[in-house]
């Protein structure tokens, strides 16, 4: 059983409900060998969210990528409704293919209430105005070869922009793993291509999809050479915190940095801001970065 390919991220997030807590998802335009990690994470989150009351938006998720996903096979999402409290709801999701778990997620949902508020300001050095209505697609590639851009170009508008180095200098966008070493910082504007439903769950899932956008490649930037390092990258674990409401079909600024790499593992952080400077999502990820002979 197969699905027709789609240009709509909203359709990617539309799962078949085959039992009360069991869902089936599909892959489109994925790499030849594995499903994009953000794709699995986004579908797992929407499966969990469909078992939670609408007045409890997601506020955090913690996930592990266990095995590469098979893009030719459907993905089964089993949701465990482990807790329904007075203010918080917790769900555990396992993604399964060929009888094996390929992904595991815990997600927490909260009935939002008024409370104390503060946030870090959007970095303004250098000034980064939002792009226009038309974004040039990114031409980045993973260090282990091309082939991932269809994930992004089909469902997201992405615009890489100049980054500021720790010394305050402005560096051009990184468009390849080849070249001189670069500070482990990247900045991009992104949005879902096409409108999304008003349901906040779809917008959280769209940002979850995009949150894996080049995040682990930030760890490679200090190790670039003109010949290009032979490095295999794979996401290991992924965490997100959703701070404030937002729309993912409007421009969002994704700021990424990598403070550490050691023992074949690279650690990256991300902050996502709206165009008017509201910090809406924080991201953390550790990934495998293994040098090839």
Question: Residues 182-239: pLDDT tens digits?
Answer: 888 888 888 998 899 999 999 999 999 999 888 888 898 888 887 766 788 888 999 9
Q: How much of the chain exceeds pLDDT 90, in percent?
A: 54
* 97, 100, 105, 111: CA torsion to nearest 10: 70
Do the domain assignments include residue 93?
yes
**For residue 79, is it within any domain?**
yes
Residue range 269-285, pLDDT digits in tens: 999 999 889 999 999 99
Which residue from 158, 124, 149 is spatially nearest to 248, judged by alpha carbons? 158
Domain, as residue range, for 150: 9-112+133-291
Which one from 140, 144, 157, 212 is the annotated catalytic residue? Answer: 212
Mean pLDDT of all residues belonging to the chain? 85
- Into how many domains does the chain fold? 1
| 126: in domain | no
Whether the pLDDT of residue 147 is over 60: the answer is: no
- Catalytic residue, candidates 163, 235, 256, 258: 235
144 catalytic per annotation: no
- Specify the pLDDT at position 146: 46
Instruction: State the DSSP H helix or E strand holding residue 155, giving kind and residue range, or none if neither.
Output: helix 149-155
Q: Which of 10-24, 114-128, 272-286 has the lowest mean pLDDT?
A: 114-128
Supply the CATH number for residue 80's domain: 2.40.160.210
Q: Out of 138, 211, 258, 285, which one is annotated catalytic?
A: 285
- Residue 30 belongs to some domain of the structure: yes
Give this prediction's pTM. 0.89
Specify whether the CB–CB gap between 206 and 8 falls below 8 A.
no
Residue 118 domain-assigned (yes or no): no
In a domain, 216, yes or no: yes
Name the band, by pLDDT with cuts 50, 70 and 90, for residue 139. Answer: very low
Contact 61, 39 (CB under 8 A): no
Q: Is 276 a catalytic residue?
A: no
Is residue 235 flagged as an active site residue?
yes
Residue 119 lies in a domain: no
Q: What is the pLDDT confidence band of residue 82, given thresholds at 50, 70 and 90? A: very high
Instruction: Give a yes or no: residue 117 inside a domain.
Output: no
Over residues 49-71, the pLDDT tens digits come to 999 999 999 999 999 999 999 98
75: tokens are 């993905």
């Amino acid at each position: 059983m197969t699905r027709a390919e789609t240009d709509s991220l909203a359709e990617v997030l539309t799962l078949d409900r085959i039992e009360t807590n069991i869902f089936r998802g599909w892959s489109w335009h994925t790499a030849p060998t594995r499903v994009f990690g953000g794709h699995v994470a986004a579908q797992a989150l929407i499966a969990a969210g469909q078992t939670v009351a609408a007045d409890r938006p997601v506020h955090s998720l913690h996930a592990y990528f266990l095995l590469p996903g098979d893009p030719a096979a459907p993905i089964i999402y089993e949701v465990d409704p482990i807790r329904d409290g007075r203010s918080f709801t917790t769900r555990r999701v396992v993604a399964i293919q060929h009888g094996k778990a390929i992904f595991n997620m815990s997600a927490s949902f909260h009935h939002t209430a008024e409370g104390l508020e503060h946030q870090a300001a959007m970095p303004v050095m250098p000034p980064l105005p939002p792009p226009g209505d038309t974004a040039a697609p990114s031409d980045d590639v993973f260090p282990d070869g091309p082939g991932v851009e269809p994930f992004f170009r089909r469902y997201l508008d992405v615009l890489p922009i100049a980054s500021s180095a720790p010394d305050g200098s402005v560096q051009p966008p990184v468009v390849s793993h080849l070249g001189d070493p670069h500070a482990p910082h990247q900045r991009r504007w992104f949005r879902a291509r096409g409108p999304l439903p008003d349901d906040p769950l779809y917008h959280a899932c769209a940002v979850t999809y995009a949150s894996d956008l080049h995040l682990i490649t930030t760890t490679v930037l200090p190790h670039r050479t003109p010949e290009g390092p032979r490095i295999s990258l794979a996401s290991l674990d992924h965490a997100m915190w959703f701070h404030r409401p937002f729309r993912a079909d409007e421009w969002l600024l994704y700021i990424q940095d990598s403070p550490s790499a050691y023992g074949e593992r690279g650690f990256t952080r991300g902050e996502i801001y709206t165009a008017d400077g509201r910090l809406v999502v924080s991201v953390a990820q550790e990934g495998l970065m293994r040098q090839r002979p």
